[in-house]
Structure 1
Amino acid sequence: MTEYGYFLSCEEHDPRALVEQARMAEQAGFTSLWISDHFHPWNDEQGQAPFVWSVIGALAEATSLPVETAVTCPTKRLHPVITAQAAATSAVLLNGRFRLGVGSGEALNEQVVGGEWPQTSVRLEMLEEAIQVMRSLFEGKEVSHHGKHYTVQNARLYTVPEEPVRIDVSGFGPTATELAARIGDGFITVAPDADAIERFRRGGGGGKPVHGGLKVCYGTDREEAVRTAHRLWANEQLPGELGQVLPTPRHFEQASTLVTREQVASAVTCGDDVEAHVAAVQEYADAGFDTVYVNQIGQDQRGFFDFYRTKVLPQLKD
């Protein structure tokens, strides 16, 4: 049976708001949490980017729900040794209710430490080596590693959970999906793509969990909700690899001027039509996702949670 979680957006909300949303999500009947990991928001309208590991520490005290990063890039901004330490500590705080979602990253967040932004094939190669390093460290033993991209010298994590942290791998194309199937403990993607899930299963994903996410904009005035979604998240409708290669929020704002309000209205469920929200989430369940994470765009978080608690989740769980 598909489970339904809530997707916390670090791009839109400050740390205290995210913690309060996690509490509301649990009260509304969501069963797990995703949280994004960004250094920059996608644009200045979104306006936030707290350090995700600090927020996760607060979530561990505020809620009993499982938490997963969606997703962390352990290759540039944070060395895999440091990412492993942060993930292991989070897993201890959450009593094992933590999964590490990883991906090959975006220039928007990773270029802040300087250096070139590698092409996709190199980024995936770096991700695979980073996962190898982190898995070794999660065992709690001393690790030295001299690889193509990373050097680790006499590193040992002294604070580790009873079981190694599970690592789910994000993928948006065939190559990344096949990598996730081969090395991941699960698969993360943000489109209701049954073909991608089948590729993951065939490539070695077998019975591993598949997690998906979508954005909606609940509101009693649909046109206002469309305007909100367009103002805050037009960047999601940009084509191709722009999301991975544009380096600053300013560049995303420039590119997003090409995205019309009509494009957003057709791509994002907006308003308070119960059947439209149920259908949008059900599409992911029908595609074969084990968990679907829903994110509410904008400030009307309480209205969203009341709406999903009373009208949407009961239909999804029937």
Structure 2
Amino acid sequence: MEGCRKASVAVFNHVDKQTFLHKVYPLRKPAVLKGIYLGTCTSKWTVDYLSTTGGNQEVKVHVASVPQMDFINKNFIYRTLPFDVFVKRAAEATHEEYFISEEEKYYLRSLGEDPRKDIADITKQFPSLAEDINIPEFFDKDQFFSSVFRISSPGLQLWTHYDVMDNLLIQVTGRKRVILFSPQDAPYLYLTGDKSEILDLNTPDLEKYPQFAKAQCYECQLEPGDMLFIPALWFHNTLAKEFGVGVNIFWKHLPSHFYDKTDTYGNKDPTAASRAMQILDRALKTLEELPDEYRDFYARRMVLRIQNKLYSNHI
């Protein structure tokens, strides 16, 4: 991987709840957790088992003709397939039946019964499979937000983004590369909303994205049975080295009133942050009424006030 400064992700073995809460969690950095009992899913969840046990309910999936999915420019389509058919297709390198091309890639991010109202919960959407997985109790039950079932075609790479809640990525089967960036490196990631414009992390275009060279890339390789702790606001990008199955567990690490009550995906900014951004947008719109020289001057004053406020709070 070229461009950014490289760093490794810390690895912890045989972590229990107390070790996690006292030695891992307070660091507020990503951590690979190995040797934790996850149940029978690590041996059971083969393609055949998933397709027969998971049922044939319809699931909405992403389908792309290229391995790098781009959420900003939407280089994929949504299609609906029976779950058992989807699993078999996702595991194939080439397809006899397809929507776009013989080498198209598939990605499932499970949804609630009504995605506008309900969260993803593997115990409700895939109860027979949920019996196979043991989710470590690293947080209080009333903090639980969602358990997202994910399946990726081999070679599939997801866009770089952040989430507003802490989460555990449980890699049940298949190997996965994960690249992460600190929230403090947001200025170097060329963001549109919560997503980075930079898709190719292996050979990024540094002429188009020169600031990316200042970012620090934290990289790890997840093996089957590994877990990755991803703190809130840490950017992450995943690449499925093989057909892979995983479960993301999100929990509310802040008091509930910080979060948007209409958020069923766990990716809406905290309500106070959303309000602040709206106020900023209005302020910038107001500055457009001024001539260029004045607009530039007062925009710089706004930046200085924000910086002074942040530095005074030691953030």
Q: TM-score, normalised by structure 1?
A: 0.27
More strand by share: 2
Q: TM-score, normalised by structure 2?
A: 0.28
More helix by share: 1
Question: Larger radius of gyration, structure 1 or 2?
Answer: 2
